[in-house]
Amino acid sequence: MKGLVIQMLQFFVDFMPEWPKWRLWWLVRHKHLVGVFIAVIKDGQILLVKKKAGVVTGNSLPGGGLDYGNTVGEQVARELEEETGLIAETFRLIEVSKNVAHRDLHLLFLVEDFGGDPNLKDNLEIGEAFFVPIEDVGKYLKGDFLNMAQKAIKFYKALKNLSMLA
């Protein structure tokens, strides 16, 4: 009986479109996840991505789960480059938060210095990377992503005010 159930599940998965496979994988395998999220802010604009596949779809900050064997710094640099084509020159950890319901730990980083331009090549997960004015971020993001973006913007503005005093 167990073998028949596994065969049926395999048949079902083989014919599913890509995005439900991501969600199914997450439901079955998700135990504990450290997620890195990256707020790239420059000249009063914040970088967003439109995710077309994965656990979360729609507009969000660039980021993803910490891969086994990677340092947090390696993961931040890798996620930013994979999802946007940008190369982070420096970044700052600005928040550590937890999502108790999903047993997740979220790390939020601010990137102000980067190289390159948003550029996507054959990306199955990301449909678009684009900058929006920081005052318009609420038109593009909702929920946790909006909350994280607003925290990053507040931190960014505080840094700018401090640098003006120096």
pTM, entire model: 0.77
Q: Where are the domains of the chain?
A: 1-30, 33-164
| Residue 69 binned pLDDT confidence (cut-offs 50, 70, 90) | confident
Give tens-digit pLDDT for 12-35: 556 655 555 555 565 555 555 888
Give tens-digit pLDDT for 95-111: 998 875 566 788 999 99
**What's the confidence (pLDDT) of residue 123?**
74
CATH code linked to domain 33-164: 3.90.79.10
Rounded distance between C-alpha atoms, residue 46 and residue 145, angstroms:
12
Residue 141 confidence (pLDDT) above 90: yes
Task: Tell me the mean pLDDT in the region 152-160.
Answer: 94
Residues identified as active-site: 128
